[in-house]
């Protein structure tokens, strides 16, 4: 009896010990909250926000070097080029005050804006500009491997006086200014060597600190030449996609971009969901050089067999727009809407084309998808299901982005088909269309059309805007008619925004401008 009693006491003690441990943890947490003090209301008081990002800026922070879209999306707020884009996609002066273009579009003369300073306090001089442009165009032999492909055909960069910079191109290029707006062409201080870890630019925000895999902090730059940023501080919190919803629900995150349809649904009661097209072309990209996709009839058959509207419904919950060619709708001037419905879902027609091409019973194929993009993976799965109707057995192969997709699919072109989205780092039609010219180094799909190449040659030589636009549209039509790829959609970029915030602005580029965001007046 006595031992029973003792056991009971022991059990009670054990439980109470565990409970007290739990209580202690809970109490500590409250203490912690008081000391750190960042619930929603206080972030408004200190005029700062937390932005969730699904992957860290695990890159060099040097704007001329870094290629990851996620990194450039953040660095957009720290750097500026000679020119920049406004939300409508117009190219307006930034570090340069104005630009004169010669009639043959070969010589660009920039006048520097007065009083533009770097985050380190130095004034921007013509030397900095000459250095920056030469460096990002890969003309300096400093052992830095810049993403030089965006700035091509520069013959010389000179500074005739202390406010003028003249850039001369090897041939006329009316779209040159558009390639100056991205972070790839950012103006940075000459001879500053810490750019990769301590970036210094001219943008509305300056780099404050970073903690790998945890956060990236920027603060308002008070000597900014233009409209100052409204927030004092922006902290980017690295939050895995899987846990992002919980971090949003717990109130730690104020802004999170690139939500999937499911994520948007689960946070819409607490957040305002703002939408804009992502300015990319999602497609089932086909390797035109391998069987059976070297036969145009097979490619066309796929275009008929795939039900794009169903994909838009199932995968993105209706948050997508048909594209039809390698151009997205937001690029209004160049977008040809008739191409988006050129192929309509028609299983019989697909079957006919397949029979003509010698595949009456279909065939087997592989769809390679990057596993870190759920939307592309799901799209691939829906396509595989749809293709069964015409006897095509598609196998989904999920690969990781860096080790397999970039190397095997993109660089070595060792694939049959893949679902991804392509965008353009320069605000030009050229950026979308040039890559499919037959001898282009990034013509991943091995598209080969002499007519297309010729049209492109004419388009870039053209100095008349209307004529050039018409030529680009013809190129798009060829891509559609030849069924270069199974074009699907431009997916909406959904951004969850704390309802207390206002001023989120979208651009026709993959960026998130935090300078226009502010807390609403209470």
Instruction: Note whether 6 binds another protein by CB under 8 A.
Output: yes
169 beta partners? 154
Q: Among 116, 169, 238, 302, which residue sits at the site for another protein (rule: CB under 8 A)?
A: 238
Using the minimum distance from each CB to another protein, give the nearer residue, 26 or 439. 26
Q: E strand or H helix at 132, and its extent?
A: helix 126-136
* Pairing mode of beta strands 255-259, 48-53: parallel
117 secondary structure, DSSP code? B
Q: Cα 19 from chain centroid?
A: 48
Q: Among 9, 12, 20, 27, which residue sits at the site for another protein (rule: CB under 8 A)?
A: 27
Using the minimum distance from each CB to another protein, give the nearer residue, 266 or 469. 266
Q: Among 9, 20, 32, 289, which residue sits at the site for another protein (rule: CB under 8 A)?
A: 32
Instruction: Note whether 20 binds another protein by CB under 8 A.
Output: no
Instruction: Note whether 438 binds another protein by CB under 8 A.
Output: no
**Segment interacting with another protein, rule: CB under 8 A, options 53-61, 285-293, 298-306, 362-370:** 53-61
Contacts of 114 by beta carbon, 8 Å cutoff, 6+ apart: 97, 163
Using the minimum distance from each CB to another protein, give the nearer residue, 77 or 404. 404
Q: What would the 3-class secondary structure string for 188-240 be?
A: CCCCCCCCCCCCCCCCCEEEEEEECCCEEEEEECCCCCCCCCCCCEEEEEECC
Using the minimum distance from each CB to another protein, give the nearer residue, 90 or 197. 197
Using the minimum distance from each CB to another protein, give the nearer residue, 346 or 408. 408
124-143 positions binding another protein, by CB under 8 A: 143
Q: Among 16, 41, 47, 67, which residue sits at the site for another protein (rule: CB under 8 A)?
A: 67
Q: E strand or H helix at 429, and its extent?
A: helix 429-433
Tokens of residue 153, six digits:
């055909």
Strand runs labelled E in 113-191: 154-161, 164-169
For the CB of residue 65, give the shortest distance to another protein in the complex, in Å. Answer: 7
Using the minimum distance from each CB to another protein, give the nearer residue, 72 or 106. 72
Which CA distances in Å does 10 have to 5, 56, 322, 377? Answer: 9, 49, 68, 54
Using the minimum distance from each CB to another protein, give the nearer residue, 42 or 344. 42
Sign of the CA dihedral with 250 first, then 499, 320, and 516 last: negative
Instruction: Note whether 407 binds another protein by CB under 8 A.
Output: yes
Using the minimum distance from each CB to another protein, give the nearer residue, 170 or 243. 243
Encode burial over 74-111: b for 16+ CB neighbours within 10 A, e otherwise: bbbbbbbbbbbbeeebebebbbbeebebeeebbbbbbe
Length of the chain: 522
For the CB of residue 396, give the shortest distance to another protein in the complex, in Å. Answer: 19
* Pairing mode of beta strands 320-322, 233-238: unpaired
Instruction: Note whether 268 binds another protein by CB under 8 A.
Output: no
Distance CA 452, CA 468 (A): 14
33-52 positions binding another protein, by CB under 8 A: 33, 35-36, 38-39
Contacts of 95 by beta carbon, 8 Å cutoff, 6+ apart: 80, 81, 82, 112, 113, 116, 124, 129, 187, 202
Instruction: Note whether 12 binds another protein by CB under 8 A.
Output: no
Q: Which of 444, 434, 397, 421 is nearest to 287 (CA)?
A: 444
Instruction: Note whether 235 binds another protein by CB under 8 A.
Output: no
For the CB of residue 35, give the shortest distance to another protein in the complex, in Å. Answer: 4
* Pairing mode of beta strands 233-238, 255-259: unpaired
Using the minimum distance from each CB to another protein, give the nearer residue, 96 or 151. 151
Instruction: Note whether 408 binds another protein by CB under 8 A.
Output: yes
Instruction: Note whether 246 binds another protein by CB under 8 A.
Output: yes
Using the minimum distance from each CB to another protein, give the nearer residue, 281 or 384. 281
Tokens of residue 24, six digits:
């202690």
Instruction: Note whether 445 binds another protein by CB under 8 A.
Output: no
**Segment interacting with another protein, rule: CB under 8 A, options 41-49, 74-82, 205-213, 488-496:** 205-213
Instruction: Note whether 121 binds another protein by CB under 8 A.
Output: no
Instruction: Note whether 19 binds another protein by CB under 8 A.
Output: no
| Site string (146-185) toward another protein, x via CB under 8 A | -xxxx-----------------------------------
**Residue 327 and residue 432 in contact, taking contact as beta carbons nearer than 8 Å:** yes
**Which residues form the interface with another protein (CB under 8 A)?**
3, 6-7, 10-11, 14, 17-18, 21-22, 25-33, 35-36, 38-39, 55-56, 58-60, 65, 67-68, 143, 145, 147-150, 196-197, 211-214, 237-240, 242-243, 246-247, 249-253, 400-404, 406-408, 410-411, 441-442
């Amino acid at each position: 009896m006595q031992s029973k009693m003792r056991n009971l006491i022991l059990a009670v003690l054990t439980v109470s010990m565990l409970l007290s441990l739990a209580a202690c943890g809970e109490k500590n947490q409250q203490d912690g909250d008081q000391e750190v003090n960042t619930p929603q209301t206080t972030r408004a008081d200190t005029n700062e926000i937390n932005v969730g990002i699904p992957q860290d800026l695990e890159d060099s922070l040097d704007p001329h070097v870094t290629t990851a879209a996620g990194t450039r999306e953040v660095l957009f707020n720290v750097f500026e080029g000679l020119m920049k884009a406004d939300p409508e996609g117009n190219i307006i002066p930034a570090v340069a005050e104005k630009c004169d273009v010669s009639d043959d579009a070969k010589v660009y003369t920039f006048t520097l804006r007065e009083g533009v300073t770097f985050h380190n306090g130095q004034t921007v001089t013509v030397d900095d500009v000459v250095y920056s442009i030469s460096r990002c165009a890969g003309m300096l032999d400093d052992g830095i491997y810049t993403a030089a492909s965006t700035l091509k055909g520069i013959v010389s960069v000179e500074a005739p006086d202390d406010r003028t910079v003249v850039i001369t191109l090897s041939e006329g290029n009316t779209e040159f200014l558009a390639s100056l707006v991205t972070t790839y062409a950012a103006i940075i201080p000459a001879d500053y060597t810490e750019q990769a870890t301590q970036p210094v630019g001219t943008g509305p925000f300056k780099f404050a600190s970073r903690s790998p895999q945890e956060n990236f902090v920027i603060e308002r730059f008070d000597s900014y030449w233009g409209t100052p940023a409204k927030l004092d501080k922006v902290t980017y919190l690295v939050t895995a996609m899987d846990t992002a919803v919980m971090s949003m629900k717990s109130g730690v995150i104020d802004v999170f971009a690139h939500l999937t349809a499911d994520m948007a649904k689960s946070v819409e009661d607490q957040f305002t969901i703002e939408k804009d097209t992502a300015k990319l072309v999602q497609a089932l990209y086909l390797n035109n050089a391998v069987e059976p996709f070297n036969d145009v009839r097979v490619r066309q058959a796929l275009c008929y067999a795939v039900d794009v509207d169903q994909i838009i419904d199932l995968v993105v919950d209706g948050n997508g727009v048909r594209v039809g060619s390698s151009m997205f709708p937001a690029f209004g001037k160049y977008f040809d809407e008739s191409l988006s419905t050129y192929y309509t879902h028609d299983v019989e027609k697909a079957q006919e084309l397949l029979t003509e091409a010698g595949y009456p019973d279909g065939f087997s194929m592989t769809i390679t998808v990057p596993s870190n993009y759920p939307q592309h993976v799901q799209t691939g799965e829906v396509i595989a299901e749809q293709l069964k109707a015409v006897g095509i057995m598609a196998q989904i192969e999920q690969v990781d982005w860096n080790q397999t997709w970039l190397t095997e699919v993109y660089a070595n072109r060792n694939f049959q088909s893949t679902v991804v989205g392509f965008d353009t780092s320069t605000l030009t039609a050229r950026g979308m269309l040039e890559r499919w010219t037959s001898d282009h180094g990034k013509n991943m799909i091995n598209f080969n059309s002499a007519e297309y190449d010729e049209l492109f040659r004419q388009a870039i030589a053209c100095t008349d805007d209307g004529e050039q636009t018409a030529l680009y549209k013809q190129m798009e039509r060829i891509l559609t008619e030849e069924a270069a790829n199974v074009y699907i959609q431009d997916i909406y970029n959904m951004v969850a925004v704390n309802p207390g915030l206002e001023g989120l602005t979208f651009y026709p580029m993959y960026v998130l401008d935090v300078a226009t965001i502010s807390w609403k007046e209470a």
